[in-house]
C-alpha cells in the first residue's frame, strides 16, 4: 500500500506539512483513514488515535482538534437519524485531556488499492447519494457548517505554496515538475472555477481506507472534515485524491453515474479537478511528507496529470 496522508487538511492551515506520524498495529499508514479493522489494535495519525474493540471504536483526537471532534460527533449523530447504517453510530463522548468519540464498530474491510468492481461502484454511489440526500434543514439545525477545505478556500492557498522556491533536484525529471508548477501557478491566478455552492452534506475525505465494503454494502467513516459542500466539488476531490488515483480506485465516469450527477454537475466536477490536481502537485516536493510516503516518480506523474487536465502539452 502506498502511504498517502490526507494532507488536504493543510488547506485550512496554510498547507503546512504534517509530521510526527507513527504507525500502529493496523495495516494502514498514518493518515490513511479511520479503518475499522483488526480487533484489539491501535493506529495513530497526526490528528487522532484509534483503538479498535470488538464492538466499539475509540477515536482520540489530539489536544488542539476540538473543532474536528465536535464536527464529527454532530455529523455522526445526524446520520444516525437520517441515514442509519451509513456511518458509525456515535455511542458516547469520553473527553478528558483530549476530545474522544466512542462509536460503534462497523462491519466490512477498507477498499483495497485497486480499481473498484462494478458492484462496489454501485454500492459506493448509493451510499454517497444517501449522504447527499440528508435534508439541508437538518444539517443546518445540527449546527454543521461548510466542510474543511471548501471551494472558496483553496486557490489562493495552493498558489502561495506553489510559489515557494523548492529545490527540485531530487526529482527524476526536475524540469517537468518545475514546468507543471509554473503552469499551475498561472492557472490558479485566475482559475476557471464554478461559483461555490453548499447544497449537500459531504464527507470531504473519501480516502479508500475510509470506505468499508462488506461484500454488499458500503459504509463510510472519518467525518472530522465533513460538512456542507457541493457534490461536484466533493467528487472532484475524491477522484483526484492521491490515495485513490494512483491505484485507479475510483473511475470518474462510473462513480458519477452511480451517484447520479446531472449534466451540469458533471461539467462543474470536471472544472474542479485541476484544482485538486494542483493541490497534490504542491504537496509532492522533495523532503515533504507526501514525497517520502510515495514511490519515486510520483511527482512527475502528478505533474503530467495536472498538465493533461488543463490541456497543456
Task: Give dist(CA 65, CA 61) in Å, integer.
Answer: 6
Residues 6+ apart with CB under 8 A from 74: 142, 143, 144
Please state the length of the chain: 313
Q: Is the pLDDT of residue 88 over 90?
A: yes
Domain boundaries, the chain: 7-151+177-309
Question: Taking 80 as the threshold, does the pLDDT of residue 266 lie above it?
Answer: yes
- Read off the pLDDT band of 95 (50, 70, 90): confident
Average pLDDT for 98-118: 96
Question: Out of 50-54, 79-83, 180-184, which region has the weakest mean confidence (pLDDT)?
Answer: 50-54
Residues paired with residue 228 on neighbouring β-strands, in sequence order: 146, 201
Classify domain 7-151+177-309 at the CATH topology level. Aminoglycoside 3'-phosphotransferase; Chain: A, domain 2 (3.90.1200)
Confidence of residue 1 (pLDDT cuts 50, 70, 90): very low
d(CA 132, CA 220): 13
Determine if residue 99 is left, alpha or beta; phi over 0 gives left, psi from -120 to 50 gives alpha, anything else beta: beta
Checking if the pLDDT of 69 tops 60, the result is yes
Q: What integer best gives the mean pLDDT of the chain?
A: 87
For position 19, what pLDDT does the model report? Answer: 30
Is the per-residue pLDDT at 241 higher than 50?
yes
Residue 66's pLDDT is what?
A: 92
Question: Does position 200 have pLDDT exceeding 90, yes or no?
Answer: yes
pTM listed for this prediction = 0.87
**Nearest Cα to Cα of residue 170 among 282, 285, 277, 281:** 285
Q: What is the reported pLDDT for 65? A: 87
**Strands 109-110, 100-104: pairing kind:** unpaired
Could you give phi then psi for residue 293, rounded to 5 degrees? Answer: -85, -5
The pLDDT of residue 12: 43
Amino acid at each position: 500500500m502506498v502511504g498517502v496522508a490526507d494532507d488536504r487538511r493543510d488547506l485550512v492551515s496554510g498547507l503546512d506539512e504534517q509530521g510526527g506520524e507513527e504507525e500502529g498495529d493496523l495495516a494502514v499508514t498514518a493518515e490513511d483513514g479511520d479503518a475499522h479493522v483488526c480487533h484489539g489494535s491501535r493506529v495513530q495519525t497526526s490528528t487522532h488515535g484509534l483503538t479498535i474493540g470488538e464492538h466499539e471504536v475509540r477515536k482520540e483526537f489530539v489536544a488542539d482538534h476540538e473543532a474536528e471532534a465536535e464536527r464529527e460527533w454532530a455529523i455522526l449523530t445526524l446520520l444516525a437519524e437520517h441515514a442509519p447504517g451509513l456511518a458509525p453510530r456515535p455511542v458516547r463522548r469520553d473527553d478528558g485531556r483530549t476530545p474522544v468519540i466512542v462509536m460503534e464498530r462497523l462491519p466490512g474491510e477498507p477498499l483495497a488499492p485497486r480499481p473498484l468492481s462494478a458492484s462496489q461502484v454501485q454500492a459506493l454511489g448509493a451510499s454517497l447519494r444517501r449522504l447527499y440526500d440528508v435534508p439541508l434543514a437538518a444539517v443546518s439545525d445540527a449546527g454543521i457548517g461548510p466542510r474543511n477545505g471548501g471551494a472558496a478556500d483553496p486557490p489562493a492557498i495552493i498558489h502561495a505554496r506553489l510559489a515557494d522556491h523548492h529545490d527540485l533536484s531530487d526529482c527524476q525529471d526536475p524540469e517537468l515538475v518545475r514546468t507543471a508548477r509554473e503552469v499551475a501557478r498561472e492557472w490558479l491566478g485566475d482559475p476557471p472555477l464554478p461559483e461555490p455552492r453548499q447544497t449537500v452534506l459531504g464527507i470531504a475525505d473519501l480516502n479508500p481506507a475510509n470506505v468499508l465494503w462488506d461484500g454488499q454494502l458500503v459504509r463510510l467513516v472519518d467525518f472530522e472534515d465533513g460538512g456542507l459542500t457541493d457534490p461536484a466539488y466533493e467528487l472532484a476531490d475524491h477522484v483526484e485524491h492521491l490515495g485513490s488515483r494512483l491505484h485507479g480506485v475510483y473511475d470518474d465516469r462510473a462513480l458519477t453515474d452511480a451517484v447520479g450527477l446531472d449534466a451540469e454537475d458533471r461539467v462543474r466536477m470536471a472544472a474542479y479537478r485541476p484544482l485538486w490536481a494542483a493541490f497534490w502537485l504542491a504537496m509532492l516536493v522533495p523532503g515533504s511528507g507526501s514525497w517520502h510516503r510515495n514511490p519515486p516518480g510520483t511527482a512527475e506523474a502528478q505533474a503530467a496529470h495536472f498538465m493533461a487536465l488543463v490541456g497543456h502539452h
